[in-house]
Structures are given as structure tokens and as C-alpha cells.
Structure 1
Amino acid sequence: MADSTSSLLMQAFAVIGILFISIKLLSFVRVLLSLFVLPGISLSKFGGPETWAIVTGASDGIGKEYSLQLASKGYNVFLVSRTQSKLEALRSEIEKKYAVKTKVYAMDFTQNRDSDFAFLKKTIADLDVAILINNVGLSHDIPVPFASTSEKEMRDIITVNCMGTLRVTQLVAPQMVQRRKGLILTMASFGGILPTPLLATYSGSKAFLQQWSTALSSELAPHNVHVQLVQSYLVTSAMSKIKRSSATIPNPEQFVRAALRKIGRSGGAQGIKATSTPYWSHGLMHWALATFTGTMNGIVVDQNRKMHEAIRKRALRKMEREGKKVE
């Protein structure tokens, strides 16, 4: 009797093990298909000639690439960012390369001025806005313990990443609902899925965007408006302070190309509604973390803390060498 029970238990465990492995293998196959094989939704579904794409944080890095690549697809582009001279330079570049219209507006999102949003609302009222790229974002100057974070830095990060994104989207979404199509794409960060000590305020702001985008996608889906949060790990940019690309760290052009090709595909963000991790190395990393450790795992969080403590020490030493004030 004991031998029979033991045999049944072994068989049960074997079946469970086979099912577990099969599920993980199936998930991995889905990731590979999503990242490397299956196409995303064509941008032409959202608009065509004479329709507009609004890009916030447009003048540098990823935002600049979204502007250029959408213009190359025939979209008129409305560029919103802080620095007028950079916006004018980008406008000139786009108009020389592509037969599209451009508008620019210099706006400091840290100020959260009602007059800025009122101007945007008035300006876009007569535009057929097909795409909104919520790219504007702000992080900490260097990794910093939360208790030592200045009030201004905390306020600016939340104001830009959260309020700025929400207020612009609230201006654009009603028009998309009325026209019954559109794309709202919001840039996120692994800081929103991996709690990031020493970048706690930034990490929290990006986690907020995850929850908000998922909820918004459900609200707008009945109106045929597609909402997607785009996750990224490291990309060469002024914000990441990484200057050289590699096999696993794309430049903005490579990253944006992947993001626009994979609209509607989850990439590495398997099972997370309205979310995509489209660049291949980021997608594989996201899938592996979620599958084998969990993004809230204590060991993962502690390793993240140690990494950012080391980054902070290097940054402080550099500031000391350059004679800059150390907070």
C-alpha cells in the first residue's frame, strides 16, 4: 500500500513538473514570436496623410527619434519640449527630409502651468491627432537616498512624469474617442517594474504610469483607441548617461524602430495588459525576470540597490574632482 501511494505521488509530481516546464516553454516561444517574428499593428491604422502625431519631450534622444520616424511615415508632427532652439533645429531637419507639416511649442513641464495646457488645447482643436507619444520624463540627477532627495527634485519628477503625461493625454483622448481611432503610447522604464532603491521617486512615478496606462487602455478600447505602455531598460541617452550602444543597449533610433514595429505586441511583457517591451534584449530580460525571480523579489531589489549605491559613489567622486557641490 505504501509503495502504491509513493508511486502515485511520484507520478503526480512528474505530471506537475512536465506541465510546469511545458508552460514555461510555451511562454518562451510566445516571447520569441512576439519579439522576432510577428508584426505589430500598422501605423496606418491610426491615421494617414494630414493627420498629426504629438510628441512630448521631442527635442532629444528617444523623443527626437519618435518625431523623425513618424514624420518618415507621413505624419505631421507637433513637437513639444522645453528648449525652443532645439525644437526649431528639429523642425528644420524634419521639413528638409520629409514632406510633412510641423508645429513646435516650448514648454517646461516642471512648471505645470495652466496657460501652457490651455495653449495646447486651443492649438490641437483644429488638428486631426492620430498619435500621442508621451515621452517627456525626468529622473534624479544621480542616485540618491529618498530621505536625502530634495523637495524640488521630488516635485519635479512627479510633476513631469505623472501630471504632465496625464494632462496632455486628457487633452488628446476626447478627440480620439470622437474620431473612433488613435494611438496613445507612453514611455515607461524598468524602474517601474523593478523597485529601484536610490531612484525611489522616479521608480514610483513609472510604476504609476503602468497602472494608469493599463486602466486607460480598458476605458478607451471600446472607442477603438489603442493605449500602450512601452517598457525600456538601458538606451543611450542624456538621461541614462550612457554614450555607447551595444548588442544589449540600443541607441534611440534602434529602440524607436522596434517600438513602432511592435505596436500591439507584448514582447517581453507577457501577460501584462496594454504593455510592450519591444526591444529584443530588454524583452528577453523582462521575461526572464518575471518568469524566474519575479520583479518584486527581495534579492533582485537588494542587488538593484547595491548597483545604484555603486553608481552614486562613482558620481560623487566625479563631482568632487570637478569641484561641484556634493549633496
Structure 2
Amino acid sequence: MDSISPTILKVFAGIGLLYLSAKAFSFFRLLTSLFILPGTSLSKFGRKGSWAVVTGASDGIGKEFATQLASRGFNLLLISRTASKLSALSSELKSASKDGSLQVKSFAMDFAENKDSDYDSLTQLINGLDIAILINNVGLSHSIPVPFLSTPADEMKNIITINCVGTLRITQLVAPTLVARKNGLILTMGSFGGLLPTPLLATYSGSKAFLQYWSTSLASELAPHGVTVSLIQSYLVTSAMSKIRRTSPTIPNPKMFVKSVLGKIGRSGGAQEWAYSSTPYWSHGVMQWGISTFVGVGSWVAVWANRGMHEGIRKRALRKVARDAKKQ
């Protein structure tokens, strides 16, 4: 067999060098984004006393967004389902205000009901407010992992209505104010469930994938108007939705997670393959970069591994239900 010519060897060596250089640069970019470079200061988007709107504000990540934004001088419009929780949070935030100047408005609504009257009332409530920030945090997942064909109709409908329709309608109400002031910030909470096709969470996974494409498209539309839009990706966070209570290197609590989000505005973190997106928490960013670089988010391997993990979670959840039923 004829030997390979030196020219062809040089071509292949050059291609290999370019590939390795690209991966090395990508890894360097990941590290600088997660650990070195700061994000855009929140003061860029609004002066002290301007308003931030937070959906799903009464618990978990939403409550922490409200707390940290209040500590940075933003007044708050809190939207969630339970009026009593909103009232308690409002009192808590006002009590913690150092100079007593914090203003908090709250509005209780069930996003699953999708009532025009609720959105009409919200329109009146935000009228005249100098809104600088919108946090699209409201969301719903399945109670436990479930095959799509076994998903209850109400659960499927509520996930789509809350995650997709609710987020779009709130944004349509608030974004015109940001465009008019030629400045503002919209953060929408994504999920690895939308990044990675997730068997047994198919409806939730699809809803979060929808938000990824919608948010990226919206970001391009609003950028010429001075409005910053970003889809925030995350793996698990301790919360009522995740049903996880203990933190770990890959599972932060809401305080840790929100601090990373607000500290890395405008930085991609691990979301290098997506424009106008960020995975700011350090371990989540490293995980996403590793999966994207070495596995592929939509690959057979990723889908197979995700299915196996959620089948295991479902089995454990069903065993727990059976044990609890015997105790009654």
C-alpha cells in the first residue's frame, strides 16, 4: 500500500490542531465567564427605586429573586398564586429594608386559569410604574416522572399554560414599558429539561425547549431597543418543585443560584452554543459545556441516560407512594 503523502498528513495535522485549539479556547472562555469576568451591573438597567416584576415570587427561586433585587434598591411587583404567601413576603421585605423606602405591590393569580381579567388587572397595576426588570420565573413540572401516554390531561394542560402561555402574556404586558424607556432586562428561567430531551418529563421538557427558542428570538428583536433578554439555564436547585432539600456541588440552594444569575448578567457561562443565553452557576455551566462538547445535548447517549435516570426516579417515587398508602 502506498504511503500517505506528507502534504495530506500536514492537512490532517492542521485540521486536528484547529479542532484542539477551538476546544481549548472554548474551555478558556468557559472558565473566564464563570470565574473571572463580572456580569453587567443591575444599575445599568434602572436607577434605585425603579421596579422589578417577579412571577412565581412566593417560594424558592422567585422569592430569592425578590429578596436580592430588593436588597439592591429595586421596588417590587410580586406575582404568584397564593395571596397569603405574597402578603407575608411583602411584609418581610419591607421590614428588612434599611431605609424604609422599599415599595412592594403584589398580585395573586393562578397562571393555570389564564383569565383575561387577571391580565387586565395587571395592566392597570403596572400602568405608570418605571419597570426596569422582568423575571419570568413562574413554572410547573410533573408531580413525578411519567410516560407521556400516562400524563393526566389537566397536568399536561397546566404545564403548557403556565410555562408557555403565562410567560408570553406577562412579557407582552411588561416589555412595551422597557422598549419605551429604551432600557431594561428580561430574564426567563429555563431548565436542563429543555436543553436535553427528557423522557418521562416530555411535556415539561418541551415547554422549556419552547422557552429557549422563544427567548432567543425575542432577545434579537428587542436588542435594537436597548432591552437585554436572556434565557437562564439551570440543572437542579433545592426547591419545592425539585423536591430536593440538601445542597451539593451540583445542586445549589436558591440563594446561591440567584446570586450567580444576578452577578453574571450578559455572560454565557456554559451556554456558549446559544445566543442570548446563560448558564451562570459554576457547576451547571461546567456540566452543560461538557455535555455539549463531548456528548451532544440531543444525542442518543444523552437521551438514553436521561431516560434511565428518570425511570429510576419514577420507580422510587411510586414505591414511596405505596409505602405511604400502607401507613394510612
Shared fold (TM-score greater than 0.5)?
yes
Secondary structure of the residue aligned to 1:105 is strand
Q: Identify the residue that residue 104 of structure 2 maps to in structure 1.
A: 102
Secondary structure of the residue aligned to 1:40 is coil
Q: Identify the residue that residue 283 of structure 1 maps to in structure 2.
A: 285
Choose which of 274, 278, 282 in structure 1 pairs with 2:276. 274
Secondary structure of the residue aligned to 1:23 is helix
Residues 95-244 of structure 1: matches in 2 within 5 Å?
Answer: 95-98=94-97, 99=100, 100-244=102-246
Q: One-letter code of the match for 1:78?
A: L
- CA drift at 1:2: 4.1
Q: Identify the residue that residue 24 of structure 2 maps to in structure 1.
A: 25
Q: Identify the residue that residue 9 of structure 1 maps to in structure 2.
A: 8
- CA drift at 1:7: 2.5
Deviations 1:122-174 (A, max 9, x none): 10011111000000000000000000001101100000000000000000011
Q: Distance in 1 between matches of 2:288 and 2:319?
A: 32
User: When the two structures are aligned, how many residues end up with a matched partner?
Assistant: 323
Structure 1 length normalisation: TM-score? Answer: 0.97
Q: Identify the residue that residue 306 of structure 1 maps to in structure 2.
A: 308
Gaps of 5+ in 1: none
Structure 2 length normalisation: TM-score? Answer: 0.97
Q: Distance in 2 between matches of 1:15 and 1:200?
A: 42
Secondary structure of the residue aligned to 2:128 is coil
Cα root mean square deviation, aligned: 1.1
Q: Distance in 2 between matches of 1:246 and 1:152?
A: 33
- CA drift at 1:16: 1.2
- CA drift at 1:295: 0.1
Q: Distance in 2 between matches of 1:105 and 1:123?
A: 9
Q: Which stretches of structure 1, 4 residues or longer, exceed 3 Å deviation after superposition?
A: none
Secondary structure of the residue aligned to 2:33 is helix
Q: Distance in 2 between matches of 1:157 and 1:218?
A: 26
State the identity as a percent. Answer: 63
Residues 249-268 of structure 1: matches in 2 within 5 Å?
Answer: 249-268=251-270
Q: Distance in 2 between matches of 1:156 and 1:140?
A: 10
Q: One-letter code of the match for 2:87?
A: E
Q: Distance in 2 between matches of 1:175 and 1:262?
A: 24
Q: Distance in 2 between matches of 1:72 and 1:14?
A: 54
Q: Distance in 2 between matches of 1:172 and 1:273?
A: 22
Q: Distance in 2 between matches of 1:89 and 1:204?
A: 34
Deviations 1:154-212 (A, max 9, x none): 10000000000000000001111111101010000001110000000000000000000
Q: Identify the residue that residue 42 of structure 1 maps to in structure 2.
A: 41
Deviations 1:216-243 (A, max 9, x none): 0011001000001000001100111110
Secondary structure of the residue aligned to 1:157 is helix
Q: One-letter code of the match for 1:79?
A: L
Secondary structure of the residue aligned to 2:325 is coil
Q: One-letter code of the match for 1:57?
A: G
Q: One-letter code of the match for 1:258?
A: S
Q: Distance in 2 between matches of 1:14 and 1:219?
A: 42
- CA drift at 1:11: 2.1
